[in-house]
Structure 1
Amino acid sequence: MTETIAPAAPTKKAGAFFTETVTFVQHWTPELFSFRTTRDPSLRFQSGQFLMVGLEVDGKPLVRAYSVASPAWHDELEFYSIKVQDGPLTSRLQKIKVGDQVLVGRKPTGTLVLDGLKPGKRLYMLGTGTGLAPWLSLARDPEVYDRFDQVIVTHTVRGVGDLNYREMFEHDLAQDEILSEVIGGKLTYYPTVTREPFKTQGRITTLIESGKLFEDLGLPPLDPAVDRLMLCGGPSVLADLKALLEARGYEEGSLAKPGDYVLERAFVET
């Protein structure tokens, strides 16, 4: 079910938050939805960063960290969320409609930024579930393609119906009048499913360790000299990926000290 654009309302500024108007809602499954809002012209962020997003409840802000799914150049903000029926925030947020208002934090932050990585040849963006969100931003950012010769976005989910944004990666970007020229042939999308039959099955850690990921892509195994990675997903998969990479000689990076990979620990679960 999709709700479409409503007339944009002026952004209201209050304390640590902007009050933005919902312009679009997409319910993908009973557990997943996306929404877009207006964006205050003064808000600046880097693709891959997150903002605090939520609602005013009983006169107080109820917010959680959400990676921005829209690229830094876009005039709206997009977010990709799970639905937790008894969750303090998402039990309410999943009911928003076009024209409703949400709170958006003024201060972007996060470690999934290009400046946290050393220069390299290939960039792997490994995401599980709604951990795809920062890749939706970065994959549409021209700077990514200036810095890397190849960009691989992986999305691991439980069921085929959870491969939201698949159409964007497999068709829409190639047909986009501007982005198609910027991206060229540099972007590869690699979806995997863990609990249903699909052309590619299994956890991303298993696919890396077995070598199937690289066999399918026609690429060599991970090499810290040329391959850079960004990781976003649940705590358990991040811990497994971190151990896997560091066993291969990878060093975690930050803005203070760029490295071979970066990961995002802020992950909405409520």
Structure 2
Amino acid sequence: MSDRAAAARILAPSDALTVETVRAVRHWNDHLFSFTITRPSSFRFRSGEFVMIGLPGERRPLLRAYSIASPAWAEELELLSIKVPDGPLTAQLQRIEPGDQLFLGRKPTGTLVADALLPGRRLFLLSTGTGLAPFMSLVRDPDIYERFNQIVLVHSVRQVSDLAYRTELESHLAGDPLVQDQALLQLSYLPTVTRERFRTTGRIDALIEDGTLFGPPLRGPKAFDPEIDRVMMCGSMTMIRSLAARFESSGFAEGSNAAPGQYVIERAFVG
């Protein structure tokens, strides 16, 4: 029996953690993977929130916050992760297999949720790397299509193989049981790659500057408008801080669960 399998047999739930079983693992490339786990019947979350995921440690569980990539209605929970060879948790987590067990926090939370935004017409989801995860949750939730007429999901990565869920997004979530019809009409996907040849290159700020972000099929102003536009950002701290300053100077106010605004970030990840 492997060390991992042996550890799985002795996992025990606590007041803060449940023990869940890995259902599937998908390796996108040598440094990116996603996995699904069982979902407790008592586990409730809003699409876009994050939760603690972990494995046993020497003295206490090794835990890390992960945005949930599956929508609130899904029967299983899906997570997206990088592979860090010497990372305390990810060095082990990247080797999980179906049937293994891990810890799941009982209390999801977060601000990358529709409730933290004021009503609007266009929603921009700006992500880098694994910051895509909460937006995969949101675009697979029917509620977001009722709140916004147009949704633009931007995913900036270094390599083409880092474009997780690219096939699903390019098909406008075709085959999704709840949102395929709405996504076909309302969802736009703009992937961009910064270190390899691709049809769109450049960082998100460059796509804003040259107008690429506002190209067809997007309708409306060719710039951000605080009256009609709402923005969510997740990923690189450099990207978030730079664009947050841009939005603040353009009249956008940051929102929260207590006071909705025109843009939101996940402060638990930014600090």
TM-score between both structures, scaled by the size of structure 2:
0.91
* 1:47-58 → structure 2 map (5 Å cutoff): 47-58=47-58
- Equivalent residue number for residue 226 of structure 2: 224
Matched AA of 1:52: M
Consecutive unaligned residues in structure 1, runs of 5 or more = 1-10
Q: 1:132/1:243 Cα in 2 relative to 1: closer, same or farther (>3 Å)?
A: same
Offset from partner CA, 1:84-112 (integer Å, 9 cap, x none): 11111111111111111111100011110
Aligned 1:142-181 pairs, distance under 5 A: 142-171=142-171, 173-181=173-181
- Is residue 203 of structure 1 aligned with residue 172 of structure 2? no
State the partner residue of 1:5.
none
Q: Which residue of 1 aligns with 2:137?
A: 137
The structure-2 alpha-carbon separation of the partners of 1:103 and 1:80, relative to structure 1 and needing over 3 Å to count, comes to: same
- Say if 1:54 and 1:103, in contact at 8 Å, map to a contact too: yes
Please tell me whether residue 98 in structure 1 is matched to residue 93 in structure 2.
Answer: no
Alpha-carbon distance in structure 2 between the residues aligned to 1:167 and 1:252 = 32
| Paired position in structure 2 for 1:86 | 86
Alignment-derived partner of residue 252 in structure 2:
250
- The SS at the match of 1:14 is coil
* 1:37-63 alpha-carbon deviations (Å, 9 max, x no partner): 000000000000000111112251110
Asked if 1 retains the 8 angstrom alpha-carbon contact of 2:122 and 2:150, the reply is yes
Q: Is residue 110 of structure 1 aligned with residue 110 of structure 2?
A: yes
Corresponding residue of 1:262: 264
TM-score calculated relative to the size of structure 1: 0.91
Amino acid at match of 2:265: L
CA contact (8 A) 1:153 1:189 kept: yes
Q: Tell me if the contact between 1:232 and 1:265 (Cα under 8 Å) persists in the aligned partners.
A: no
Separation in 2 of the partners of 1:222 and 1:238? 16
Kept in 2: contact 1:253–1:262 (CA 8 A): yes
Match of 1:239 in 2: 241
Match of 2:183 in 1: 183
Matches within 5 A, 1:24-35: 24-35=24-35
Cα distance in 2 for residues equivalent to 1:74 and 1:172: 18
CA contact (8 A) 1:118 1:259 kept: yes
C-alpha distance in 2, partners of 1:215/1:172?
A: 17
Give the CA deviation at 1:236.
1.0
CA contact (8 A) 2:24 2:35 kept: yes
Q: Structure 1 residue 184: deviation in Å?
A: 4.2
Q: Contact 1:142–1:183 at 8 Å: present in 2 too? A: no
Deviation at 1:248, TM superposition (A): 1.3
Aligned to 1:127: 127
In 1, distance between residues paired with 2:194 and 2:268? 23
* Matched letter for residue 173 of structure 1: L
Q: CA deviation at 1:175?
A: 3.0
Identity over the aligned pairs, expressed in percent? Answer: 54
Aligned residue in 2 for 1:6: none
Equivalent residues, number: 259
Q: Does 1:213 align with 2:210?
A: no
1:168 partner SS: helix
Which runs of no fewer than 5 residues in structure 2 stay unpaired?
Answer: 1-10
Structure 1 contact 156–194 (Cα < 8 Å) conserved:
yes
Counterpart Cα distance in 2 of 1:58 and 1:146: 47
Task: Give the CA RMSD over aligned residues.
Answer: 1.8
Is the CA contact 1:49–1:112 (under 8 Å) kept in the aligned structure 2? yes
Q: Output the CA distance in 2 between the equivalents of 1:41 and 1:222.
A: 41
